[in-house]
Amino acid sequence: MADKTAPNNLQAEIEVDAPPAKVWALVSDLPAMARWSPQTFRTFLRGSGKGAKMININKAGWRIWPTTSMIKDFEPDKRLMFKVRENKAKWSYDLEPLDGGSRTKIIETRDVSGGTSGISHFLVDKFFGGNSNFESVLQADMNKTLQRIKTEVEGS
């Protein structure tokens, strides 16, 4: 039976002992995202800043799938947001300075408030165990991504 639950917005956050500019250097390096994100296998970036385009190769277990996206918002040291063409999800990284700018809160968001595509519903249902299971894995992976970014930025 198909999982008919609607997709939900997801969010994860973490505080990092580094200023926003140092965190931004990692977060905005999208081709390096495979170091931190469990589902990102490889990212190819064409261009820079707002309007840049990406091809992402994603991997979860035996499943491998490509996506394309475009950077829609790019504010150095503050915000990076891209929209995935295939499923309409908007992914963002927002940086908030803490303690006068000596620390940073990173907020990663998956915004699907505009809904997702029919093909996305079908693939999530057939290959990822339904939306609830898929989102549970995504949430855990978002937390892992932020923890890995924190570990790297604080260790450098």
pLDDT, tens digit, for every residue of 84-140?
999 999 999 999 999 999 999 999 999 999 888 888 888 888 888 888 888 899 999
Domain ranges of the chain: 10-155
103-111 β-sheet, strand order? 10-16, 103-111, 90-98, 79-84, 63-75, 53-60, 40-46
pTM: 0.92
Q: What is the residue-averaged pLDDT of the chain?
A: 93
**Which one has a higher pLDDT value, 94 or 156?**
94
Task: Specify whether the CB–CB gap between 33 and 91 falls below 8 A.
Answer: no
What's the rounded Cα separation, in Å, for the pair 127 and 137? 13
Token pair for 18: 């580094």
Cα distance from N-terminal residue to C-terminal residue, the chain: 48
Predicted pLDDT at 32: 96
Q: What's the pLDDT tens digit per position in 11-56?
A: 999 999 999 999 999 999 999 999 999 999 999 999 999 999 999 9
CATH superfamily, with its number, for domain 10-155: START domain (3.30.530.20)
**pLDDT surpasses 70 at 61:** yes
